[in-house]
Amino acid sequence: MLTIEQLNEYRDKTRDLIKLRHHKLQPELDCGYKYQVLVCGGTGCTSSGSKKILEVLNEEIKNQGLENDVKIVRTGCFGLCSLGPIMIVYPEGAFYSNVTVEEIPRIVKEHLKEGSPVKEMLYEQTVCEDGSIKALDETDFYKKQVRVALRNCGVIDPENIEEYMGTNGYQALAKVLTTMTPEEVIDEITKSGLRGRGGGGFPTGRKWAFARASQSDQKYVCCNADEGDPGAFMDRSILEGDPHTVLEAMAIAGYAIGANQGYIYVRAEYPVAVERLKIAIKQAEEYGVLGDGIFGTDFSFRVGLRLGAGAFVCGEETALMTSIEGHRGEPRPRPPFPAIKGLFEKPTILNNVETYANICRIILKGADWFASMGTEKSKGTKVFALGGKITNVGLVEVPMGTTLREIVEEIGGGVPNGKKFKAAQTGGPSGGCIPAEHIDVPIDYDNLIALGSMMGSGGLIVMDEDTCMVDIAKFFLDFTVDESCGKCVSCRVGTKRLHELVTKITEGRGTPEDIEKIKELSKYMKSTALCALGQTAANPVISTMNYFEDEYKAHVEEKVCPSRVCKKLLKFEIIEDKCKGCTLCARNCPAGAISGTVKNPHKIDTDKCIKCGVCMDNCKFGAIIKK
């Protein structure tokens, strides 16, 4: 059984080691190593080769006889995914980006052995004009971020519980078990203003209070790690980089509501997250911070893993619980709500990964500290997975109320290739598009809803001027049609009919009556579907209609796609003055739609053309255009 004194010993043992990964050159701190090398081990960097980089790095360290001078740490995601694989060397904070295996020997020799960072391999924004190395938090991507949920990602070894303890890990659990009543814990969470980060934004403290008030011989704490929005990877990154923060928060929630069992429902497509959760649970049980009689009290809590098969509908709380029970993941009518009758028909609370990742900091730093960030009705920070047509693809955490412009243009580095920002899609398949005219809107729960979108779990997809908004609506309907569980007619049939209508429009067969049908069908789905999937499935269509009505009109009335994206509305044409008669287009056309002789201009038979674009891809003279 772990005592609080022993917990403090683990904290003190590794505290300086961890502190040196946050700050530049602190002579008063001694971690026992000359250098610490942090290598990103998140899914993004792993997919681009960081595992091999770790292997070669270890070999080179050994070959150079530096085992006692250099500590190598595999961390979670650093956030700036577009620059992976990433490696950071402390105490300088040297940020090596897009690292290759071939570069490792030079970095080891010149930097780790001879003490001279290889500056041409560093992220350009971290190198000053005088050659000195700038701290990461001074770069455009990081300087406006405030890391609360992501505080340990890219900092600690997620497979080492003692490193987590070095960041005050499990101190919040010790505090609530020895100095606070369950009611005081719930009051603190309520005062903080924390709202659920899974999409709905329901006040976390109020949810816990409902479950606390329910009378039952058994209660449960569940974690939703079934992140299903296209382009979203916030929860996955937290689990990969800091799994213990979720376990600790779930134990605190269990103490608050009177539960002794928790379940994490995580999709099986997250193998790195699943493996690290398994390791974390095993370590937590071995060290005594999960199990029976935690810290010598009469409180016991255990956590089990349940793997999902990737069904988007299982992100809905009742469907998730049904799946944990071993049944097909389908939503149940509410009321009764899970706080009254949830998992195995017992009182249950369900929060997502990011929500739990805030709990321990609130307990240790206080509700007022958390509530000092954000807006009046949306407190704290929010993690966004920034993707699409953006320079700095990655994971960002900013205070609620940060404007879309700050995220896109400053943190995200703007739209690449000189293109203009057109819109940002938030909330995944349940959300909507925010057009350029609202780029200065402060992002919080209420502002997004007012704009016809929603926060969702935090996916933020940026679109440029070449994006067809009708095609975007069709893309999300493709997804919801596939992911509907089929239990209620409103969703099963409604999403299919919506998809058919939008497809008609993208193929040039749409009519003005189809627009009215879409509006009417969307209204009925919102009021009659059983769960949020069906109720919000039309949001991407309605929001794009509201803000980009001219594009829908062009598709319906003029039978053209202004962005030249919708295939059935495209027309390929050869410009005679530019065509050299090289015959490359004709030889590669799979439909035999191009005719002409050598050294003479060619022509495209529009009746035969299947609009595949192969001719345009093969033309070396820019003689083929699409209209």
Across the range 211-219, mean pLDDT stands at 97
Indicate the pairing of strand 70-75 with strand 35-40: parallel
CA dist 314 and 333 (Å) reads 14
Binning pLDDT at 50, 70 and 90, where does residue 25 land?
A: low
pLDDT at 249: 98
Q: At what angle are helices 171-179 and 243-257 packed, to 10 degrees?
A: 10
DSSP at 281: H
Across the range 12-18, mean pLDDT stands at 90
Alpha helices in 48-198 (DSSP H): 50-63, 104-106, 161-165, 171-179, 182-192
Q: At what angle are helices 4-19 and 171-179 packed, to 10 degrees?
A: 150
Per residue in 480-510, pLDDT (tens digit) is 999 899 999 999 999 999 999 999 999 999 9
pLDDT at 357: 98
Determine the residue type at 295.
Answer: F
Which strands make up the sheet holding 302-308, listed edge to edge?
Answer: 302-308, 261-267, 220-225, 348-352
pLDDT at 130: 85
pLDDT at 212: 98
Question: What does the block give as tokens for 103?
Answer: 């570069």
pTM: 0.93
Binning pLDDT at 50, 70 and 90, where does residue 26 land?
A: low
* Cβ 324 vs Cβ 314: under 8 Å: no
Alpha helices in 507-592 (DSSP H): 512-528, 532-536, 539-547, 549-553, 584-588
* Cβ 573 vs Cβ 532: under 8 Å: no
Per residue in 72-119, pLDDT (tens digit) is 999 999 999 999 999 999 988 999 999 999 999 999 999 999 999 999
Residue in the structure block whose two tokens are 């919801």? 480
Per residue in 64-74, pLDDT (tens digit) is 999 999 999 99
Q: Is the pLDDT of residue 28 over 70?
A: no
Across the range 553-576, mean pLDDT stands at 92
pLDDT at 519: 93
Determine the residue type at 253.
Answer: A
pLDDT at 200: 79
Q: Is the pLDDT of residue 340 over 70?
A: yes
* Cβ 285 vs Cβ 298: under 8 Å: no
End-to-end CA distance of the chain: 72
Alpha helices in 161-257 (DSSP H): 161-165, 171-179, 182-192, 204-213, 234-241, 243-257
Distance of CA 269 to the CA centre of its chain: 14
Is the omega angle on the peptide bond into residue 429 within 30 degrees of 0, that is, cis? no
Binning pLDDT at 50, 70 and 90, where does residue 23 land?
A: low
